Amino acid sequence: MNLNMLKAKIHRATVTHAELDYEGSCAIDENLLEASGIIEYEQIHIYNIANGERFVTYAIRGEAGSGMISVNGAAAHKASPGDLLIICAYGALDELEATAHRPRLVYPDENNRVARVAGEIPAQAA
């Protein structure tokens, strides 16, 4: 059996652009893509913390060091500059692979620069 597991997450990235008249996708600063292991044209799920919108698109490479998070095309209706997003990619693993798997979690700062990378989500305080 294959399980869909979290491959990568960019947690609380700030939208810098929303381009309605663009062909589609989400442009992400190349440094964030590399840190997360998300590759260009890979399917991503985006969760908008500001308004609760959830949508699926694909990643494209933004200029390295630019801090760009540009939600493009029809998805631009679901996010505005300044919104905080969670950007996730998933992968199918068999049960044995899944037991050893750890996602790549990237935590950007307020300028969408890589502040921290982790391999597990911290436990929540009770």
Query: So where are the chain's domains?
Result: 2-118
Q: What is the overall mean pLDDT for the chain?
A: 95
User: Catalytic: which of 22, 58, 90, 107?
Assistant: 58
State CA 54 to chain mean position distance: 12
Q: What percent of the chain has pLDDT over 90?
A: 90
> Within a 13 Å sphere around the CA of 1, how many CA atoms are in the beta-carbon half?
5
- 80 in catalytic set: no
Cα–Cα–Cα angle for 10, 11, 15, nearest 5°?
85
Q: What is the pLDDT of residue 72?
A: 97
Q: Could you report the per-residue pLDDT of 20-77, keeping only the tens digit for each? A: 998 879 999 999 999 999 999 999 999 999 999 999 999 999 999 999 999 999 999 9
Cβ contact 91:5 at 8 Å:
yes
Where does the pLDDT of residue 124 fall: very low under 50, low under 70, confident under 90, or very high at 90 and above? low
CATH for the stretch 2-118: 2.40.40.20
Cβ contact 20:77 at 8 Å:
yes
- 25 in catalytic set: yes
- The alpha-helical segments, DSSP class H, found in 1-126 are 30-36, 95-100
